[in-house]
A and B are shown apart, each in its own frame.
Chain A
Amino acid sequence: MAEPAANAHQGDDTTRRDFIFIAAGAASAVGVAATVWPFIDQMNPAADTRALSTTEVDLSAVVLGQQIKVMWQGKPVFVRHRTADEIGRAQRDDFATLKDPQSDAERLVQEDGAAGRPEWIVLQASCTHLGCVPTFVEGSSFGGWFCPCHGSDYDTSGRIRRGPAPANLPPAPYVYLNETSIRIG
């Protein structure tokens, strides 16, 4: 019914309406996106959560052969004071058949790239399979951590040796602040 009128006005009028239509559509699409984004982004870690991103650890309290679990960004981290025997096993196994080959020295490297000290190993305490916390088991098959959930076995350097986990326990980023303390993160 409106066709004859539309035909009569074909030209500038229609083009202008089309332009306004598309421009308004584009502007509202941008507007919707700009409005939705804050509602999505608010779920990301808040500033105070991110501020808890470093943890300082006093090493003097950890005696030889002992390990402590500290919380870093809400996640547990192992700080282990390794015995000479554990260090020996870890270094010897650099050449064993490894699922995720990495040498012990590489795993001790500090965040700034400086070499670590073999007696202190700092590892994120989440099994790389499904995130359970492994337990250090004296006399376990590889002398290190064992995950009770699905039976992954890690050695004294936290490398995966047996079980379903795909990768080594990731080292936590740390630096020595002085002789007896480190900062994680």
Chain B
Amino acid sequence: MSGLSTYEPKSGLTRWLDKRLPIIRLAHDSFVAYPTPRNLNYFWTFGAMLSLCLVVQIVTGIVLAMHYTPHVDHAFASVQRIDRDVPFGWLIQNIHSVGASMFFLAVYIHMFRGLYYGSYKAPREVLWILGCIIYLLMVVTGFLGYTLPWGQMSFWGATVITNILGAVPFVGESIQVWIRGGGSIDQPTLSRFFSLHYLLPFVIAGVVALHVWALHEAGQNNPAGVDVKSKADTVPFTPYATIKDLFAVILFVILFATFVFFMPNALGHADNYIPANPLQTPPEIVPEWYLLPFYAILRAFDFNIGPIDSKLAGVIGMFASIAVLFVLPWIDTSRVRSMRYRPIARQFFLIFVVACLILGWCGGQNPGLILAKPADFSATLTWVSGGEVRSEQFTAPSEGEYEEFAQAQRDRLAEQGATMTSITRENARTATITGVFGGTQSTETVTGATPDAMEEAITHAKEEVGSGAAFFSVERRSPYTFTVTTLSQIATFYYFFFFLVLLPLLGLREKPGRVPDTIAKPVLTEQGAA
């Protein structure tokens, strides 16, 4: 909206209106005459798709709310009724649930576009932050909406996420109860989630208006990342951007429709077709695909950091991964916007994209799943067959002296010629010591691919020996294992390393390639050469 308006009302009516409410002028200046950089590529069409997604979600959502019942006893059935009985309910419900996924797919590409081409740098910091706010609102709205069908994943996802808030020190539990409206996820929770899920899209629409306003004030960034310097650098929004956006939107809608009509459940979890049951936990609780990277970061922290326990550390890590985006404009020190002219940063950026995809994959896996290990888990069993077994009870003089006293008992039996000894503690002071005298000592080593398989092998080996041995001594050896958690720890580390170390340092040290003086120059040169 910077620059002079070129709108000229043609008819008497529009002239009359223009004096009173220049709304046609606003639309003309924003979407017709608006100058767009002439070198925009197809990554600049995702804004149009996202606008479409927001409209689609609001329209389908309003319709669904006419048929949905936000009650713990009826919510699941009412969604099934929409799918089966309501005329075209199946279509509208599928569009809404697939639409959420499409919305996130588009927003992620839109965000990576912004990261690659430096669209967050001056003078577009506020534009970028507004975008981060929209994304955060989308995450909350998506989470609230996923609770509404009241399936097992809805219920347990909500339980896990609200439990996460309980990790906040001091006030965590109060916040948790406040959000749930009770001790657990129940009717009050469902009612308020429905209300907020209806409200937030309109808040998003409001922030989108600010986002577009900020965009039109600062002007669009472009693949070269250089400022618009003259009229030669731009083309009018209509028809150039409008037609290009329309074409991209058509491709997007084809993908959208493919999911809606041919695989509406491909992106959801089968367990959400089981009605919510507070007494039964599903075997594995996973969020929707678009939140998996953050879920992986949450679970990557399986160790305590000083006074911060692992649970809180995971929560901090997860929130920090989004918070870091808000301060990105001030973290990246490079004065070159587009990574097209940043040969080193570009490679680290590609690794960053891979790290995000890895996090997404890890989020959907069992965290204990072993991906690689140098050797099997093994255990050595030692037992004595034959020989004489003697048991006796002993009482230590006091609880504090127990360990010492027990060791003395062991030593005493060993001196008497016991081949093996075993102690079973009964209470604070008394225990039974069993010793085997004579007999032959045997050992056996068993292995297993997982700790459980090894335990099974141990049980099996014990059964084979049977009553031939009074007791066994078992020495277990665990190899180093590379699990899904390890992989997500590496990816999480890189995620933060990229933002907090690489971007600030590279901006100072990297020697950028030659940035063109104007947008028009390289474009026109290419055209001339062709």
Contact = CB atoms under 8 A, between A and B. Distances in A.
Interface of A: 40, 43-46, 49, 69, 71, 73-76, 91-92, 94-95, 129-134, 141, 147-151, 164, 166
Contacts of A141: 455
A44 B427 contact: no
Chain A's interface: helix, strand, loop or mixed, by majority? loop
Contact of A149 (B181, B285, B309, B425): B285
Given A92-B426, A148-B283, A164-B310, A74 B181 contact: no
Nearest to B399: A95
A69 B181 contact: no
B284 A49 contact: no
Contact of B281 (A45, A92, A94, A148): A148
Query: Which 7 pairs from chain A and chain B are nearest by CB?
Result: A74-B184, A73-B183, A132-B281, A131-B163, A133-B281, A74-B186, A75-B184
A80 to B, nearest CB: 15
A113 B163 CA distance: 29
A61 B283 CA distance: 29
Given A43-B192, A74-B183, A130-B285, 15 more contacts: A43-B179, A45-B181, A49-B186, A74-B182, A74-B186, A74-B278, A75-B278, A91-B427, A92-B425, A129-B311, A131-B163, A132-B285, A148-B281, A149-B281, A150-B368
Nearest to A74: B184
A88 to B, nearest CB: 9
Contacts of A150: 367-368
A148 B434 CA distance: 37
Interface of B: 156, 159-160, 163-164, 177-179, 181-186, 188, 192, 278-285, 302, 309-311, 367-368, 424-428, 455
B285 A166 contact: no
A4 to B, nearest CB: 40
Chain B CB within 10 Å, residue with most, of A133, A134, A141: A133
Contacts of B284: 148-149
A36 B130 CA distance: 26
Given A43-B178, A45-B177, A166 B183 contact: no
Contacts of A45: 177, 181-183, 188
A167 to B, nearest CB: 10
A118 to B, nearest CB: 13
